[in-house]
Structure formats: structure tokens, C-alpha cells
Structure 1
Amino acid sequence: MKKILSIVIPAYNVEKYLERSLKSFEVKEILDSIEVLIINDGSRDNTEIIAKKYCEKYPGTYILYNKENGGHGSGINYGIRYATGKYFKVVDGDDWLNTEELPQFIDILKKTDTDIVATDYLCIRDGTDEVLQEKYCTGSREQYGQVADMTKGEVRHVIKMHALTIRTSILQQNSIHIDEHCYYVDCEYITYPIPYVKSVYYYHKFIYMYRLGRNGQSMDIKSMQKNRLQHRRVLDSLLVFYKNLENIPQGSRRYIENCIGQVVENQFQIYISMGTDKTIQQELREWDTSLKKQYPQVYRAVYKKSITLLRKTNYRILPVGAVIYKIIKK
């Protein structure tokens, strides 16, 4: 029986969280329809032992791949290489899926033939399981239960990794490859396949449970400050990808601009959080001026009012923004 969904779990030192993640897929009625590819990225804890327990219990569903450490992107690349399911979904090793909704979700994937199925997700506080925020895959409620045409500009909101389930053949047949040994590559994963995507189905259920507040999480602002050169590396890769786009529909191009625009906004967030450093203001000015010159469409795809205000003042209010940012984040 062909698998309907390949769930790929890049896992590095997640012994504290992996049990919950793997158990969330343990639904008898769907085990024959899914495969769970656990990509052990050179973990030094008990990640492998926990994964093996599920592989031995469900050998036709859970599959373990051990590899040298290569970062989150290498785990996704491994998954793309070995996935056999009709659809492909990445679940980080410290996150999980909504067990109660999985049977109906698999049924939807069996029936649909769209390139992407977009779903809602919840942000969950680490340690308490408090729901911090409900995240929706579209801002237009009328799109739920409908198919949107990417090429015609009908997909107006960026579909984040946690909301994305994509046809496996799109990734494999177009040699989608994500940067390795680098953080923040989720942005590449959701952007690189878009030239090959036409249809998106919107499913109005919370499927993904996204853990927030874990110490050392890459999207924590202190981690982003520390790894800001890696964030720039990913942004630069995305801009090169954009520069080399040829003969794609305007709707797809505009969507890609919005994807990269959100990465630019994250880069601004790093600069703003460090804005009391005098050298940062000059670095930001030079970087954003270069962006405007080389990639004007991406430059204009940034919509945050705080960034618009920074640009209008020639970044002079950056130190003030940094102080306000620190107050808000306390």
C-alpha cells in the first residue's frame, strides 16, 4: 500500500521531546497510510534509543536514519531523498501533530490532488502546554475548503513550514535542496518549491503543534543575534534564487517576494534588537540600501510600519527602536 504522508523529523538531541512527537502519530487507523522518517542528525543523547523503540514496534511506519551532524537543512534533504509518500511534511523533533485530527487529515490527503495542503497550527508554551497563539494558514476565511491558484496570485498569505504539507514529487523531481550546517532554513524549504506549485487547498483544522519558549531555540532573539550571519546567509541564498528565476507566472513571483520579504523583516528585527551599537546603524543602512538597489521588488515586499518608519528617517531612530524593543520583550 502506497503511503499517503511522509512525516520527516529532523532530530538533534531531542530526547526530552521526541517521545511526545512520535507518540502523536500513533493512531492505529492511519499507521498503514503514513511513514515517519526520523533523521537522527548525530545526536549525542538518547534520541536514537527513543526512535528505535518506535521503529521496532511499528517497522512498517517508523524508520530511523542515522547520519553525521549537518543541521536542520540536511535532515530535510535526507527526508526528501528517502520519502515515498504522496505528501511530505516536516515536523521538528520538539514539536508534534494534533493526534485527534490526524485521521481526518489523512483522509483529506487521500482525496485531494493539489500541490500543497495548507493547515492551521497552534503555538504552545514549553513546559506548560499553554496555547499562546492560534495561527491560520490564510487570512481569508472564505478560502477554507477551497483550492487557490498560486500562479494567478490567489495565495496571498505566506504558508509557513508548520502549515505546509507539499506533494513529495515536487521536491524530488525538481531537486529541491536546502542549505546545510545552518539555522533558519525553513524559509528556503517553503520558498524553493514555489515555481513548481500551482494549486493550494486550505484545510481549517489545527494540525501542527509548535513549541515555543525552549531555551536555545533558533528563533529566540538572543539566538538570532548570535547567529545573525547565518540568517544573512539564508537571506542571501534566497535572493540569489530570486535573481535566477525565469519565466514564472506573476502570481508565483509575487508570492516568492512576500516569502523573502518576511525574512528581510526578521533581519530587521535582529538589527533593531542590537540598535544601541553604533556600528549596527551603519551596517543596517548599507545593507538595506543595497537591497533596495538590487532587489527593489523584495524591498517593497516589507510591510511592517516600524520598518517603513526606520527607512523614512534614514535609520536615525534605530537606537530609540532598540530601547523600545527591549522594554517590550522584558
Structure 2
Amino acid sequence: MHNNQDRHSVEAGTHKVLSFGIPSYNAAADIDRCVESVLEGSDYAADIEIIIVDDGSKDETPQKADEWEARYPGIIRAVHQENGGHGMAVLAGLRNATGTYYKVVDSDDWLDASALSTMLSILRGFEERDTRVDLFISNYVYEKVYEGTRTTISYKTALPRKRVFSWDEIGRFLPSQNLLMHSLCYRRDVLLDGDLPLPAHTFYVDNIYAYVPLPRCKTIYYADIDLYRYFIGREGQSVNEATMVKRLDQQFRITRIMMEAYHLYEDVEKPRLRNYMMGYFTMMMAICSVFSKLSDDPAAPQSLKDLWHDLKVYDERMYRHARYGVIGMGTNLPSKMGEKTTIGLYHLAGKIFKFN
């Protein structure tokens, strides 16, 4: 462990370039690796801060968070709150952040040291030159520990590199290239500038986080670095298929919030951003459609029907795009045979795009 406490406490008043929010619930087994990866990758720099949000944990997470704060005052802060779920922890981190930029790192994930070092030099450069960048995008890596494999999700075919750009300049995103929480680092004032409708006690809020703020971002920078390491390998992880089927109601809740965030064809003026967001939203509707078919819950088909009906009432044009494009048709085939085909297509897509 690096031993530079004195330097850090002295520099506690330093302007922070980047704040990391680490939502943590019963994370005692993982949190040390996560925090160490940020400290080491930033070289224990005084211009970053790490906010560990203990979301009402029942294990040693609260003590660990306090120990980290004691060890690195001025860099690490522990925030304790009653259990509110991932979204509430993300918002608590944001409320307590003081940096120009805000990056969420889940407590069981970690950051690559050399990529983080590169990211920090780029962000510091923006600050020095007074260049306003609303959104910093980087790659992420699925670390499938139980399979011993890793899959990198990169955006170099879709985004310009090594310069600040706007949504007018983005290319086409593949279905495997959605911008996720792992790939995004927002300028903090962009997140504070409007509502971030993250519901309490709900999984999959990262979809809202990676969707709602996008139209507020006018300037973007993409660094082709494999920064975020997304750990897949625990039982009951929220992306596990059986878990997703069980939490179908939460998937519906998140999709409705995203639906009601925008009338995409009226509210989002940049056509390329609108197309991207429509594609993302269509994928959310497709997930609801597929998992309704995988679910044993007798209420699932009706819930799905209601969701499609409400989308049609809310915005006919979004409904037509989501329902009658290739993905909408493929995930809503009629009859039992159609259902089997839909599920087969979903599993095939999972193998191709490695999302599960």
C-alpha cells in the first residue's frame, strides 16, 4: 500500500478534475480491488476524489469505507446511507462529488491503470486549455472470470478519435456498441443540469444513466482506451438470464422511464443522436419482449401488451420504429412457434455479441 497520507491531507483543498462514485452494497469482498485500481491508476493524485457510497450494507463495507477515508483523507470520502439501491447510491455519489467530471465504478469492477493514467492526462489537458467537454467516452472490457475470457467493447468504428466532436459527427453503432455506464464519464454539471430519474430499489438504472443525459451533451471526446473492467462471474449478477427473468417488473419500470424521458422525434434535434437513442430504446423494448416470453409469470404477456399499448399512445412514431423494425418484429413473432424462434434468436445474439 502506498504511503503518502501526509501529502494528501495537506492538499485536501485541491481542485478535483475527476470524481469517482463507487456505489457499494455488501461489497466487502471486492471493494479493496476497486479502490486500489483507481488509486494506483491515478498515481494517488490529489486532483481526483473517490466517493465510496455505502448503501446500507450489512457486511464490513461501512468499516472498510471509513478505513479508506482515514488512510487517504482529502482523496477518499465515505458516505453512508440507508439502503436505496444502485440508483440512489449513484445519485449520492453525484451529490457529494466536487470534480469537474463524474465517473461511476461499481464496487465489484475495476479500472485499468495505464488507461486511467491516459484518461487523466486528457481531462487535465481540457482543464488547462479551458476546453469544455460534456462527455468523455472510453472502451470497456467484459471480464468473464468463470470462462477465463474477456471481450472488449470498443467504439472506434462509430466515433471520431483524438478530437472533440459533436453528435453530428458520429457513425453507426452496432447492437453490441451501446454506450453503457461503464463507457461514460460525464461532466458533472451536465448531470446536475436536469433530472436524472433513477428510481430507488430498482436494478438496471444504468440504462437511464446512459440515455437521459445524452441530449444535454454538446461536446464529446472518445479515447480508444480499455478503461473499465466489467466483472461477470458471480451467481445472481443482475445480467444473468435467470435473474433478469425474475426481475422483469424492474426491466419494465426502467423502460417506461426511458420512454417518458423524450418524444425522440420532437425533443432530440440531432438526427444521428436520435437514431442512436431510438436504437437503444428499441433494444430495451426487445429485452422486455424476449424476457416476457422466457418468464413463467402468467401476468407477463399482459404487462408486455400494456407496455406496447402505452408506447403507441405516448408516441406513435417511436412505437412504429420500435415495433416494426427488424428487432421489434424478430422479438414479437406471433404463435408458440414464433415465441420459440424469438428465444432462439435472442440466445444466438447473446453468443455473437457476448452480452450475457
Structure 1 length-normalised TM: 0.87
Q: Residue 282 of structure 2: SS of its match in structure 1?
A: helix
2:143 aligned with 1:124? yes
Corresponding residue number in structure 2 for 1:154: 170
Compared CA separation, residues 190 and 67, structure 1 to 2 (3 A): same
2:188 aligned with 1:168? yes
Q: Select 1:103's aligned residue among 102, 105, 117.
A: 117
Q: Greater CA deviation, 224-233 or 286-295?
A: 286-295
Q: Select 2:92's aligned residue among 78, 87, 106.
A: 78
Q: Distance in 2 between matches of 1:57 and 1:289?
A: 54
Q: Select 1:137's aligned residue among 141, 155, 172.
A: 155
Compared CA separation, residues 226 and 310, structure 1 to 2 (3 A): closer
Q: Distance in 1 between matches of 2:339 and 2:298?
A: 8
Answer yes or no: is the 8 Å Cα contact 2:264–2:274 preserved in 1.
no
2:211 aligned with 1:194? no
Give the partner amino acid of 1:2.
H
Give the partner amino acid of 2:138.
T
Aligned residues: CA RMSD: 2.9
Q: Distance in 2 between matches of 1:196 and 1:155?
A: 19
Answer yes or no: is the 8 Å Cα contact 2:289–2:331 preserved in 1.
no
Q: Which runs of 5+ in 1 are unaligned?
A: none
Give the partner amino acid of 1:249.
E
2:283 aligned with 1:262? yes
Corresponding residue number in structure 1 for 2:204: 184
Q: Greater CA deviation, 155-164 or 69-78?
A: 155-164
Q: Residue 108 of structure 2: SS of its match in structure 1?
A: coil
Answer yes or no: is the 8 Å Cα contact 2:135–2:186 preserved in 1.
yes
Shift in Å, 1:181 = 1.4
Q: Distance in 2 between matches of 1:284 and 1:291?
A: 11
Q: Deviations over 1:181-217 (max 9, x none)?
A: 1111001111121231112111001000001121111
Q: Residue 262 of structure 2: SS of its match in structure 1?
A: helix
Give the partner amino acid of 1:99.
A
Identity of aligned residues (%): 27
Compared CA separation, residues 85 and 327, structure 1 to 2 (3 A): closer
Answer yes or no: is the 8 Å Cα contact 1:119–1:205 preserved in 2.
yes
Give the partner amino acid of 2:329.
T
Q: Select 2:27's aligned residue among 6, 14, 20.
A: 14
Q: Which runs of 5+ in 2 are unaligned?
A: 1-13, 127-131, 352-356
Compared CA separation, residues 324 and 159, structure 1 to 2 (3 A): closer
Q: Deviations over 1:110-158 (max 9, x none)?
A: 1233211110011012357x34311113533x622233312x3636433
Shift in Å, 1:95 = 0.5
Shift in Å, 1:30 = 4.6
Compared CA separation, residues 297 and 162, structure 1 to 2 (3 A): farther
Structure 2 length-normalised TM: 0.81
Shift in Å, 1:316 = 4.7
Shift in Å, 1:290 = 4.8
Q: Deviations over 1:210-240 (max 9, x none)?
A: 0112111111111111111111111111111
Corresponding residue number in structure 1 for 2:238: 218
Q: Distance in 1 between matches of 2:102 and 2:345?
A: 37
Answer yes or no: is the 8 Å Cα contact 1:272–1:325 preserved in 2.
no
Q: Residue 29 of structure 1: SS of its match in structure 2?
A: coil
Give the partner amino acid of 2:269.
P
Compared CA separation, residues 263 and 326, structure 1 to 2 (3 A): closer
Q: Residue 28 of structure 2: SS of its match in structure 1?
A: coil
Give the partner amino acid of 2:245.
Q
